[in-house]
Amino acid sequence: MVFKKLLALSGSAFIHGYASEELNTRQTAPALPAGWRSLGCYSDSTSSRTLQTAAFTDVTGMTIESCIAFCTPSAYQYAGVEFSRECYCDNLIESTGAPIASGCNMTCTGNSAEICGGANAINVFSLNTSPPPPTGWTSAGCYSDTPTSRTLKVASFTSVTDMTLEACAAFCTPAGYEFFGVEFSRECYCDNVIESPGAIETDGGCNMPCTGNSAEICGGSSRINIYQSTAISTAPPPPPSSTTTTATTTSANPPTPTPTIKQTAGTYQYKGCFEDGVATTWRTLANGLTVSGGVNAERCAAACQAAGFPLAGLEFGQECWCDTFMEIVDVRPDSECNKPCVADSTELCGAGSRIAVYQDTSATPPDPQQCLTNFQLFLISAVNLRVVLPTLPDDDVPTWLGGITFTQDTSVPQVILLTSAEKGSPLMSFFIGNTGNNSQNTLDLNNDNGPFAVSLPPKVGGPQLFVTDPVGFVSVNPYNQYCAMPNPVGLYGPFIGPAVLAVNGRKDLWHLCSNTTAFGRVDLVYSPVATSTDYTASLCGQFFIQIEI
């Protein structure tokens, strides 16, 4: 009697106790049921099955045909036979399984002319019923690929639940790419060339169903199914004569217009291309939105405006970001915001780590005398402070702030005084600490040459001082009346920074003064006074302090 045991595969392992004849030569392959093909021999283990969704064992009657017949009613994409008697089904080849050159050498219990895998080796078969390519595309075959040297590499996206050939084609088509490719069930790539060292593979490695349609194949592990656009025209060969002839090629489609950066989108005006900290704890604009119909400048601006944000940003061809203020400004050339919008190939939508920013000209600007809310500066571990003139923000004046100490003994508290770094004092970085109230933040000094330092409250007529606290030597409560305010001399408009540093609700009391008792050292002074013996107040210059990265 045939012994069949259906397994739910909830952690149960098969016990191999059957002594099967091992063959030294491959048997003649059977004629497979219609639509099925052999993928070859794969590695397998009892702890991590290569096919694992369903299984049964037949100690006397296992054949390749009976295994496929078991997997077919449930529409499994893959069937596999192992250890002479075991049958497995799945809709993907699990990541632990890999093609192997030998090991599938045991005859099937129900037909000694067939091979049913081996010990820790499984013969895998695939249902080859993938539908035709999307309209306008033709299959170029299965190619090798590696993460370090992509076969298609200009653009990509991943969908862990909805990848299909059609989705990948739709992603690559608007920008006019000649090739698209799908890999590892979920990845999509675009390019205009098949990059070296990618090469045609015939090992059956393109065998993983797409996450969005198990009837389609989306490459495999280190294997990519590539499709080529049929709209690309090629010039015919020259006529077989000695006469030089100019060949004219006519495309079936009109030429795609060159995408450009949209300068206005409704009431939003383009302000520039900026770097975005995608690999950091902060973003140039903090709020990402999902836009119905796909992203272009008009749709993103409308979505941000509806959500109450005066700033909109386009990134990576398909992302929409919004915010109330943009504190961190790292301007880049417009040429770096060069990725066509996925939903509108006539427009450019930023690029990788590059965001095209738009500002609503109809929005009410923030109060220049109020601390900013919802700002991200406390997410950044190190910022620099630069002083700028109230009327000439880019004038050639002493700019970056540094600090000097008055003792070299780091075992005791050190007092650090802020000065112009252009007079020889070392440039230092700062950290704005969040206390939970945007108008009450600390200003801490990342002292590269010694212990971390916290700010002391500035005194009218005196310098801005910091004190170190080496290993808890002395308890120092950092002053917490600093905040970021809109920049009155910013170059990009009222909603774009860099933000400026304020203390005690004022941003306009910072000055640089030449210290007459320290050989002209230029110190940062809070609200200079005429009675000071260290400087001449009338010669001090008023500045704003920009917070920059």
Tokens of 154: 């200009």
User: Model confidence over 214-232: pLDDT tens digits?
Assistant: 778 888 888 999 999 987 5
Average pLDDT, the chain: 79
User: Model confidence over 5-17: pLDDT tens digits?
Assistant: 333 333 333 323 3
**Sign of the Cα pseudo-torsion (265, 293, 363, 287, in order):** negative
Tell me what pLDDT residue 547 has: 85
Q: Is the pTM value of this prediction over 0.75?
A: no
Under DSSP, is residue 423 helix (H, G, I), strand (E, B) or coil? Answer: helix
Give the type of residue at 414. Q
| Measured distance CA(432)–CA(442) in Å, rounded | 6
Integer CA distances (angstroms), 12 to 47, 123, 176, 351, in order: 9, 21, 50, 49
Tell me what pLDDT residue 379 has: 67
CB-CB contact of 50 with 88 (8 Å): yes
Tell me what pLDDT residue 69 has: 93
Higher pLDDT, 209 or 120: 120
Tell me what pLDDT residue 384 has: 78
User: What is the maximum span of the chain, computed from C-alpha positions, in angstroms?
Assistant: 110
Count the helix, strand and coil residues of the chain and give each as a percent rounded to the nearest 5.
10, 35, 55
| Measured distance CA(152)–CA(90) in Å, rounded | 29
Tell me what pLDDT residue 5 has: 34
| Measured distance CA(287)–CA(311) in Å, rounded | 10
Give me the mean pLDDT over the 102-106 stretch.
Answer: 91
Tell me what pLDDT residue 478 has: 79
| Measured distance CA(525)–CA(458) in Å, rounded | 8
CB neighbours of 364 closer than 8 A, spacing ≥ 6?
A: none
As a whole-number percent, the residues of the chain with pLDDT over 90 amount to: 30
Tell me, what DSSP letter sits at residue 106? B
Q: Which residues are paired to 437 by β-bridges?
A: 440
Asked whether residue 65 carries a pLDDT value surpassing 90, the answer given is yes
User: Model confidence over 67-103: pLDDT tens digits?
Assistant: 999 998 888 888 999 999 999 998 777 767 788 888 8
| Measured distance CA(23)–CA(19) in Å, rounded | 13
Asked whether residue 530 carries a pLDDT value surpassing 50, the answer given is yes
The pLDDT-based confidence of 245 (bands split at 50, 70, 90) is very low
